[in-house]
Amino acid sequence: MSTPFARINLGFSLVEMAIVLAIIALLMAGLLPTLSSQMEQGRRTETRKQLDEIQQALLGFAITNGYFPCPAVSASSGVEDRDSGTKICTGNKRAGFIPWVTLGVPKTDGWNRIFRYSASLNFTNASAVFSTSTTRDITIKTRDATGLVNLSNSNDIPVVVVSHGANGIYGTLDNGNTLPTSASTSYPNVADQQTNATGDGTVFVSRDPSGRTAPNDEEFDDLVIWISPNILFSRMVAAGKLP
């Protein structure tokens, strides 16, 4: 009788498989924070580019028309909310969502929250082209060790656009739902983001990102841009729209 060939085991044992899976898990655990950080930075970079695009679109709109657009009708309608009869913003609305359809710009930022927009009413009146002496009423603030301080001159800014950042607190999603938060407004990070999202549209806070100071605090990560009167008027003069 012939001797059968010995079996050769070319597979992995259960122990070896377990070791390989454990190594893969450790490698993935080390890579995930890096990948997450890279994705977050990508969203932030994308949002900054979108804000730059919106800023240029607003300048182009003002140069073409002699005034800025009104806020959007709603979270679902991106046309500016202007009264066709009086030619002013409906109900004197000065703060709301960016009129993305009117401007031809992105509606939402890198985190899928609608950009907030505010404009001085004197600069949105379609029946009277603004001039260098037209009254502005928006102030940009920042925060130092003493509290909130002016970053711009008081009541000096005509338009502002805000992204609510990665945490998105008080921001509005593309579907119109507002993101809730249980964070306390007694913390500056939360209070400043609430001002940017739900204030009367005359004061905005722009500062470097800041981490949580307590479990019921939030990071401050809003991105805020505005158009200074110097840039606006110089562009208008260069285009022959202002003397």
Give the pLDDT score at 33: 64
The Cα 150–Cα 118 span in angstroms is 18
Q: Tokens for 219, please give them.
A: 């990071």
Q: Measured at the alpha carbon of residue 25, what is the angle toward residues 24 and 26, in degrees to the nearest 5?
A: 90
- pLDDT of 183 reads 92
- Tokens read off for 120: 């001085």
Give me the sheet containing 159-163, strands edge to edge. Answer: 95-97, 116-119, 159-163, 223-227
Dihedral class, residue 149 (left if φ above 0, else alpha if ψ from -120 to 50, else beta): beta
Low pLDDT (below 70) residues in the chain: 1-12, 29-33, 35
pTM: 0.85
Residue 227 has what pLDDT? 98
